[in-house]
Amino acid sequence: MQDLNHPKVKPFTREIAAELSLEPRFTEFVFARERPDCFRYWVEEVQGSWTCYVSDEFDVAYPLWSSNADQTLVLVRDSTLVFGYGWHDEPDIEIVSKTAQGLLTDLMRQIAESDVPDADLRQAAEFCDYRYLDELLAFIDEPTPVDKWSEAMEQFIANVDAKES
């Protein structure tokens, strides 16, 4: 599927992770061959997936994992990086966060909303070194009007990013 990728999409390696100063435990999670079952579907190998568009504001996009043929990316411009989603069938990029913990917040939200048992969710958080699970679960349990949910989630991720910066 490499030939279907946008030309700015390049393979992600451990060397690139080190150059980008990504945390070693996050890098280990990305390259893990076996993960807890609750990651199934949400975190798949990048083979068989592709990103059809990368905006001009980014120099390169590195796929970390995929879900349903769409890629989760680290996007780089100069020395700045952000995390987001590249779609295989839509000419757009969705920016999620400025940090790996912000990206993991969105991933763990998706898993939590899949009715995964608490023990499995905690095992998953430990496996990927996600440090904000209790705060995320409290946020999910807060009553939030449906029309404000996306905005509230974006703010929650921004708060995680601020703590990590």
Q: Using alpha carbons, list the distances in angstroms from residue 143 to 48, 146, 149, 155, 156.
A: 38, 9, 9, 15, 14
- Confidence (pLDDT) at 3: 66
**Looking at the chain, how many residues does it have?**
165
Sign of CA dihedral 123, 124, 130, 136: negative
**Is it the case that residue 90 has pLDDT exceeding 90?**
no
**Is it the case that residue 94 has pLDDT exceeding 70?**
yes
**DSSP assignment of 89-140, as one string?**
SSS-EEEEESSHHHHHHHHHHHHHTTT--HHHHHHHHHHHT---HHHHHHHH
Residue 95, sorted as left (phi over 0), alpha (psi -120 to 50) or beta, turns out to be: beta
Q: What is the mean pLDDT of residues 132-138?
A: 98
Banded model confidence at residue 48, pLDDT cuts 50, 70, 90: confident
Selected residue with higher pLDDT from 96 and 89: 96
Round the average pLDDT of the chain to a whole number and report it.
95
Backbone φ, ψ for residue 44 (5° rounding): -115, 165
The mean-pLDDT minimum among 1-10, 28-37, 131-140, 143-152 falls in 1-10
DSSP conformation class of 67: E
- Confidence (pLDDT) at 5: 83
CA 23 to centroid of chain Cα atoms: 14
Q: Residue 115: CB partners within 8 Å, gap ≥ 6? A: none
Separation CA 129–CA 157 (nearest Å):
16
pTM of the predicted protein model: 0.94
